[in-house]
Amino acid sequence: MRKAGETFTQRILRQSFSGWGAKIGLIWVGILTLLAVFAPFIANSMPLLVSENGNLSAPVLRYLTTEDIIVLAAFFILLFLFLSPLRQSLKTLLFVFLLMIVGVTIVSKQFVVEQENIVYENFRHDLNSEKYDWAVMPMIPYAPRDYLRDVRRLPLEAPLADKQYVHWMGTEENGGDVLSRMVHASRIALGIGFLATGIAMVIGVILGGLMGYFSGIVDMLGMRLVEIFESIPTLFLLLTFVAFFGRSIYIMMVIIGLTSWSGYARYIRAEFLRLRKQDFVQATIASGLPLRSILFRHMLPNGVAPLLVGVSFGVASAILAEATLSFLGLGLVDSPSWGQMLNQAVKSSVFNWWMAVFPGGAIFMTVFAYNLMGEALRDAIDPQLAKKAGVVG
């Protein structure tokens, strides 16, 4: 009975991703997501699968951390919900997703034993000692923190210099494999983008929506709050926090989120102020619909479009903020991040080009990809603007 035509959202998405720019952006972010989710299986020192006297075992699973499991679970739950034939409303889907994630977190906290110090040398020893009948190794057979101290004396090595232990992108100053570290670092890059922007978006939508709908005194107070938050320099606040509370990626995400919502609040406020006077909103009031429905069913979906554009640029700037911080040497100590790798490249006395080019290129590509998508979204939402700019669609 219900066969609907193309929805507004579908139309916007189709138009956005019909151009090559947005497609490239989407493909790049898609690759990054896959890398981030399957990082332990792509780059690790332990074998994926071994046969020991006829018994099969997967050492890599034994060393998965809670974080790995949550990320993997989130990915597969999302994939399942997206592909499942059950067509539920977005609200229920989100609820189911959160519920399942919390469940997985609790379960994995119970059962996963975090391995504090993994001795990577042992794996190589096992592999060489013909203990296994056969073994399947990951694509990049080095863990990000495997510094290969047993293998070589000089840690720094250019790409493809060693014939026995091949490093496609060379090694960093401790001897870790650059490619492996970059794969694992994509998690931080994506995570900080999504989480920081997510926090900012939620705060921005709620405050901006209230300001726009009620206007008057609420609007005035809200806008003053926005101005206060806009005058906070995020980077210096981050520096201060890192100095006092130590280095934690989650604190960074929260601070970036808490200080960057003002832009989204402004967007939503302006949209709601405009929508309030629109005829179809007046019609919902005339039909006596409850405020909840007016705000969230009729106004928000119509006002969210410019926000999405802002978000895609916001993700890019959050990634840059983390990279900046790591570059200044105030990021995470041991966990790999692109900015931190750039920092190493600069600190070294000789210019090791592979240390600068690969992480730098990854940051550039990611920020560029988000900007491309943001640009395409904006053009699809506001075709007038694209026409004025001379972009023939």
Alpha carbons 287 and 294: distance in angstroms, whole number: 10
Instruction: Give the binding range for another protein (CB under 8 A) out of 180-188, 246-254, 290-298, 373-381.
Output: 290-298
Closest separation between CB of residue 315 and another protein, Å? 24
Residue 20 touches another protein, criterion: CB under 8 A = no
Residue 269 touches another protein, criterion: CB under 8 A = no
For residue 118, the tally of other CB atoms under 10 A from its CB is: 14
Residue 215 touches another protein, criterion: CB under 8 A = no
- From 206, 204, 175, select the one nearest 310 (Cα to Cα): 204
* Residue number with CB closer to another protein (4 or 333): 4
Identified binder of another protein from the candidate list 54, 117, 279, 292, rule CB under 8 A: 279
Residue 290 touches another protein, criterion: CB under 8 A = yes
* Residue number with CB closer to another protein (115 or 278): 278
Alpha carbons 103 and 245: distance in angstroms, whole number: 29
Cβ-contact 199, 373 below 8 angstroms: no
Q: Using DSSP, state whether 156 is helix, strand or coil.
A: coil
* Residue number with CB closer to another protein (4 or 86): 4
Query: Which are the contacts of 380, defined by CB distance < 8 A and separation ≥ 6?
Result: 12, 13, 15, 16
Residue 291 touches another protein, criterion: CB under 8 A = yes
Identified binder of another protein from the candidate list 301, 364, 383, 391, rule CB under 8 A: 301
Cβ-contact 391, 379 below 8 angstroms: yes
Identified binder of another protein from the candidate list 99, 106, 225, 283, rule CB under 8 A: 283
Touching another protein, residues 57-116 (CB under 8 A): none
Identified binder of another protein from the candidate list 14, 225, 293, 361, rule CB under 8 A: 293
Instruction: Give the binding range for another protein (CB under 8 A) out of 60-68, 91-99, 259-267, 286-294.
Output: 286-294
Q: Return the C-alpha torsion angle 284, 289, 293, 299, nearest 10.
A: 20
Residue 287 touches another protein, criterion: CB under 8 A = yes
Strands (E) in the chain, as ranges, are 49-52, 55-57, 134-136
Alpha carbons 358 and 52: distance in angstroms, whole number: 38
Residue 278 touches another protein, criterion: CB under 8 A = yes
Placement of tokens 């699973």 in the chain: 61
Binding region for another protein (CB under 8 A): 1-9, 11, 278-280, 282-291, 293, 297-298, 301-302, 392
